[in-house]
């Protein structure tokens, strides 16, 4: 019956792999995470920086959690994945090939989860490599067990879930530049304001940024959910955006 979702997922992979967007974003994420990991390690134990010295659990979790900063690039990956159809007007052949538009969005979600999972692993690997080598040189390489491992898994899951959110937001907004700028402004400006104003601080833990922080190491004093709750909340955001985007994609005319 109809166009099978596995076929559409393969079509999405072909779309992703036949342009260089994914390479650019992956390289950018690796560079960003590598640089953060280097900086954190360089200033570890420096009194002015306030970063705990190498060898402490605080430092290790902080340094291993820098991968989570790449969520911004992974949300962009998801946003481009859906908005490129409208930007380059390929939504027409795509919806001609599969008139069931809901299936197209579902296939995109599945395809981008499957693509983001190994990409996120690469980013985590860069983080671990830099921290292990640099911190090892400074005295003590962190172990990759226990709390440290939980931080890494949390960061990996956050990267994948942010991609899902990106796909959903893209389906919702359709305008590529608008969606990317909107996401950046929201994550960097709006959530920053919300978390710093006492009156709205309580809501922060329920927002994507707060949920992300809950998932990865944080030693801020702010009130946050537990790691798994944060992950679940993020997933709810991602799925909600995707469902809403799907409902709208089905109803909107493709002109």
Partner 1 sequence: MPGVTLAAAQGWSTCSPRTVPVRLDGSDAGPTGASEEDEISSGRSTALDPVRVDVSGLTKNFGSVRAVDDLSFTVEPGQVTGFLGPNGAGKTTTLRMALGLITPDRGTTTFNGTPYAALPEPTRQVGAVLETAFHPARSGRNHLRVYCRAAGLPTSRADEVLEQVGLGPAGNRKAGGYSLGMRQRLGLATALLGDPAVLVLDEPANGLDPEGIQWLRGFLRHLAHDQGRTVLVSSHLLAEVEQTADRVVIVGAGRLVRQGSLTELRAGSVGSVLVRSPQATALAELLRATGTSVDATDGSAAGITVNGLPVEEVGRRAFAGGIELHELRAQTSGLEEVYFRLTAGQEQYAADHSDTAATPGVS
In whole angstroms, give the CA distance from residue 227 to residue 29.
Answer: 23
Residue whose CB is less far from partner 1, 18 or 145 = 18
Q: How far is the CB of 10 from partner 1 (least distance, A)?
A: 4
Rounded distance, CA 204 to CA 195, Å? 5
Q: Please provide the distance, in angstroms rounded to a whole number, between the alpha carbons at the two ends of the chain.
A: 27
Indicate the residue among 2 and 198 with the shorter CB distance to partner 1. 2
Minimal distance in Å, beta carbon 144 to partner 1? 38
By CB under 8 A, name the binding residues for partner 1.
1-4, 7-8, 10-11, 14-15, 18-20, 84, 88-90, 92-100, 251, 253-255
Closest to partner 1 by CB, 17 or 236: 17
236 Ramachandran zone, left/alpha/beta (phi>0; psi -120 to 50): alpha
Beta-carbon count within 10 A of 183 CB: 22
DSSP assigned state of 188 = I
CB-wise, 86 or 134, nearer to partner 1? 86
Write the Ramachandran bin of 112: left for phi over 0, alpha for psi from -120 to 50, otherwise beta. Answer: alpha
CB nearer partner 1, residue 22 or residue 43: 22
The nearest distance, CB 197 to partner 1, in angstroms, is 41
For residue 83, the minimal CB distance to partner 1 (Å) is 12
Q: How far is the CB of 255 from partner 1 (least distance, A)?
A: 6
Q: Minimal distance in Å, beta carbon 240 to partner 1?
A: 24
Distance of alpha carbon 16 from alpha carbon 9, whole angstroms: 11
**Which residue lies nearer to partner 1 by CB, 99 or 136?**
99
**Cα distance between residue 195 and residue 213, in whole Å:** 12
Which residue in the block uniquely carries the two structure tokens 């900063």? 69
Contact 30, 125 (CB under 8 A): no
């Amino acid at each position: 019956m109809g166009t099978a979702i596995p076929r559409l997922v393969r079509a999405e992979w072909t779309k992703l792999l036949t342009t260089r967007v994914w390479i650019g974003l992956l390289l950018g994420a690796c560079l960003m995470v590598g640089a953060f990991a280097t900086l954190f390690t360089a200033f570890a134990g420096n009194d002015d920086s306030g970063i705990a010295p190498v060898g402490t659990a605080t430092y290790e979790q902080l340094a291993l959690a820098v991968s989570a900063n790449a969520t911004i690039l992974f949300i962009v990956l998801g946003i481009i994945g859906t908005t490129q159809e409208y930007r380059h007007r390929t939504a027409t052949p795509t919806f001609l090939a599969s008139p069931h538009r809901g299936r197209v969005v579902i296939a995109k979600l599945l395809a981008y989860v499957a693509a983001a999972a190994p990409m996120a692993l690469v980013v985590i690997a860069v983080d671990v490599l830099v921290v292990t080598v640099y911190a090892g040189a400074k005295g003590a390489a962190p172990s990759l067990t226990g709390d440290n491992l939980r931080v890494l898994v949390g960061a990996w899951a956050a990267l994948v879930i942010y991609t899902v959110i990106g796909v959903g937001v893209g389906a919702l907004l359709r305008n590529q530049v608008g969606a990317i700028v909107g996401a950046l402004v929201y994550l960097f400006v709006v959530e920053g304001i919300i978390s710093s104003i006492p009156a709205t601080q309580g809501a922060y833990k329920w927002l994507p940024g707060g949920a992300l922080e809950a998932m990865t190491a944080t030693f801020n004093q702010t009130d946050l959910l537990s790691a798994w709750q944060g992950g679940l909340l993020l997933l709810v955001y991602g799925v909600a955006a995707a469902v809403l985007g799907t409902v709208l994609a089905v109803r909107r005319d493709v002109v």
